[in-house]
């Protein structure tokens, strides 16, 4: 019979690594959006029929199985709607409330949600399509 002193302590939640892969290519388009069919809840995006698509190619991979996945930071606007299109190709979707807050020429980079990068270096800038 095991006692409390023999039990292993629970593992602390892992903090995401600070380093994120660099963006290799970025294309911004306005795309039609169809709300996924959900049985028991209404999607937060139900009122939108188009979105701003950020198609991002990166060096490396984003591990989608994690509890926390990166966001695309457009200036100070976090774009969190993320879909994998392949090993190093991802699609982030921004909806009108987010798009309204985006400023022309804002830097675009990957970041952890809620954490502003210490250094905002990016060769990619926001240009509304």
Give this prediction's pTM.
0.77
Tell how strand 89-94 and strand 23-32 pair up: unpaired
Residue 100 has pLDDT above 80, yes or no: yes
Q: Is residue 94 part of a domain?
A: yes
Q: What pLDDT was estimated at residue 43? A: 61
The per-residue pLDDT for 47 is: 72
pLDDT at residue number 116: 72
Look at residue 69 and tell me if it is in a domain.
yes
- Within a domain: 125: no
Q: What is the tally of structural domains in the chain?
A: 1
Domain that includes residue 56, residue range = 18-111
Question: Is the pLDDT score of 87 beyond 70?
Answer: yes
Given a cut of 90, is residue 46 above it in pLDDT? no
Tell me, yes or no, whether 22 lies in a domain. yes
Band of pLDDT at residue 69, cut at 50, 70 and 90 = confident
Answer yes or no: is 58 within a domain. Answer: yes
| Residue 119 in domain | no
Looking at the domain assignment, is residue 25 inside a domain? yes
């Amino acid at each position: 019979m095991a006692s409390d002193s023999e039990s292993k302590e629970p593992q602390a939640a892992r903090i995401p690594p600070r380093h994120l892969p660099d963006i290799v290519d970025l294309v911004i388009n306005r795309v039609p959006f169809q709300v996924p069919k959900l049985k028991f809840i209404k999607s937060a995006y139900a009122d939108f029929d188009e979105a701003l698509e950020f198609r991002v190619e990166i060096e490396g991979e984003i591990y989608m199985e994690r509890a926390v996945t990166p966001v695309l930071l457009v200036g100070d606007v976090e774009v969190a709607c993320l879909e994998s299109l392949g090993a190093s190709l991802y699609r982030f979707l921004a909806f009108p409330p987010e798009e309204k807050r985006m400023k022309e020429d804002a830097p675009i980079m990957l970041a952890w949600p809620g954490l502003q990068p210490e250094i905002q270096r990016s060769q990619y800038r926001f240009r509304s399509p």
